[in-house]
A and B are shown apart, each in its own frame.
Chain A
Amino acid sequence: AQSVTQLDSQVPVFEEAPVELRCNYSSSVSVYLFWYVQYPNQGLQLLLKYLSGSTLVESINGFEAEFNKSQTSFHLRKPSVHISDTAEYFCAVKARSGGSNYKLTFGKGTLLTVNP
């Protein structure tokens, strides 16, 4: 079975500062990796994903994540955050589980709060 650990439950930062949200996973099989974002009172939106190939993946709004197989990590970074980035961020892994369940296992989330 796979598991996901998001090392920080809350990350407060100032606007225009860099940020890193940490994610580690464990799995006995190959995985796909995802970051989702949840803005207040909304559903989850896919931010970016790693399937294969280049270990650095980017989103359209300036976030990037790097897959590190040796450290089983998929940390999310942004060089300069905006107030509008305030949201909860979930790391997730997807692997075959129980035969045919393409189960998405989530971390417990990191609340990013960007202050002016």
Chain B
Amino acid sequence: EAQVTQNPRYLITVTGKKLTVTCSQNMNHEYMSWYRQDPGLGLRQIYYSMNVEVTDKGDVPEGYKVSRKEKRNFPLILESPSPNQTSLYFCASSRDASYGYTFGSGTRLTVV
């Protein structure tokens, strides 16, 4: 089954403790992206990657890092999480511009 898999689904952590949210797709998509969803703000792009070793900032990249060492994986790294990063995070992938994204099921992160 074609899918984007995120882990974990739920995570509660403390301020300053580094964490990684993993994302993997099995569709051989070149394009991958991370979004965060907040009430009243919709979805905002954090980072994106056009291909292996090619990443760039989206609209709200502060406090996040990403890497793309393999085509299928695109982890999101929070080096020092803060409470304002409490959010619902989605990873997505796409074949090209004319295709819609396929989204993962989301990771609900709470930073206390």
Task: Write the residues of chain A forming the contact surface with B, with a CB cutoff of 8 angstroms.
Answer: 9, 32, 34, 36, 42-46, 49, 51, 90, 94, 96, 98, 100-109
- Chain A residue nearest to B96 (CB atoms) is A102
Proximity string of chain B (69-105) to chain A, C-beta cutoff 8 Å, 1 when within and 0 when not: 0000000000000000000001010101110111111
Residues of B within 8 A of A109 (CB): 42
Main secondary structure of the interface of A (DSSP, over half): strand
Smallest distance from the beta carbon of A102 to chain B beta carbons, Å? 4
| Residue B45 lies at the interface, judged by CB distance under 8 Å to chain A | yes
Residues of B close to A9: CB separation below 8 A = 40
B42 and A107 contacting across the interface, CB-CB below 8 Å: yes
Chain B residues with a Cβ closer than 8 Å to the other chain, count: 26
Instruction: Establish whether residues A102 and B42, one from each chain, have CB atoms under 8 Å apart when the complex forms.
Output: no
* Cross-chain contact B56 with A42 (CB below 8 angstroms): no
Chain B residues lying within 8 Å of A100, measured Cβ to Cβ, are 50
Q: Does B41 contact A (CB under 8 A)?
A: yes
Query: B interface vs A, CB < 8 Å?
Result: 31, 33, 35, 40-45, 48, 50, 56, 58, 90, 92, 94, 96-98, 100-106
Q: Which of B42, B48, B56, B94 contacts A90 (CB 8 A)?
A: B42
User: Given the complex of chains A and B, what is the CA–CA distance between A28 and B42 in angstroms?
Assistant: 22
CB distance from A84 to the nearest CB of B (A): 19
Question: In the complex, what's the smallest C-beta–C-beta distance from B74 to chain A, in angstroms?
Answer: 14
Apart from A101-B48, A105-B45, A108-B42: 12 A-B pairs, beta carbons within 8 A:
A32-B97, A32-B98, A34-B100, A36-B100, A43-B104, A43-B105, A102-B94, A102-B97, A104-B33, A104-B45, A104-B92, A107-B42
A44 touches B103 (CB 8 A): yes
- Selected from B44, B56, B100, the residue in CB contact (under 8 A) with A101 is B56
- Chain A minimum-CB-distance residue to B102: A46
Contact A98/B56 with A34-B100, A106-B43 known, Cβ cut-off 8 Å:
yes
